[in-house]
């Protein structure tokens, strides 16, 4: 892990760390050889043709991508979890639907942009 990513991770507030670690472990279990870099000021996991980023915010941790079509499909099945055009925003109190999130991560990483 490069120094920029390590500094970011060292600065994660302790109350957000368990959720961040859970989401990071999920990404790394799917793509253990992902390149981890700091992009847009957050740790970004690059593999194959895609990437996902993880960043913390006031109330939780978000998963970011540039493939909004997969976010929309996730939102349909999990309307209680806040989403943005390119993010799934987990509050600290949200249950993480692992199977559905795995699907989003795989789609984002495996499919070229625009498909």
* pLDDT one-digit tens code per residue, 89-113: 999 999 999 999 999 999 999 986 6
Q: Please count the structural domains in the chain.
A: 1
- The residue-averaged pLDDT of 44-61 equals 95
Query: What is the pTM for the complete model shown?
Result: 0.93
- Residue 115 within any structural domain of the chain: no
The model's confidence at residue 1, banded by pLDDT at 50, 70 and 90, is: confident
Provide the CATH number for the domain around residue 21: 3.90.1150.200
**Reduced to 3 states, what is the DSSP secondary structure of residue 72?**
helix
The first and second tokens of residue 27, run together, are 């990404």
Range of the domain at 70: 3-110
- The residue-averaged pLDDT of 23-45 equals 96
69, HSE (Cβ side, Cα atoms, 13 Å) = 7
| Cross-strand pairs, 88 | 63, 83
- Residue 57 within any structural domain of the chain: yes
d(CA 23, CA 87): 13
- Residue 95 within any structural domain of the chain: yes
- The residue-averaged pLDDT of 54-61 equals 96
- Residue 65 within any structural domain of the chain: yes
Q: Is the dihedral of CA 46, 65, 25, 15 positive or negative?
A: positive
């Amino acid at each position: 892990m490069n120094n920029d990513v390590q500094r970011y991770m060292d600065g994660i507030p302790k109350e957000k760390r368990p959720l961040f670690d859970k989401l990071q472990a999920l990404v790394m279990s799917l793509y253990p050889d992902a390149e981890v870099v700091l992009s847009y000021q957050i740790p970004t996991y690059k593999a194959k043709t895609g990437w996902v980023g993880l960043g913390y915010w006031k109330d939780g941790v978000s998963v970011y991508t540039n493939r909004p079509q997969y976010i929309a499909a996730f939102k349909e099945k999990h309307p209680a979890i806040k989403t943005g055009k390119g993010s799934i925003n987990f509050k600290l109190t949200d249950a993480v639907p692992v199977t559905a999130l795995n699907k989003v991560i795989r789609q984002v990483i495996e499919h070229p942009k625009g498909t």
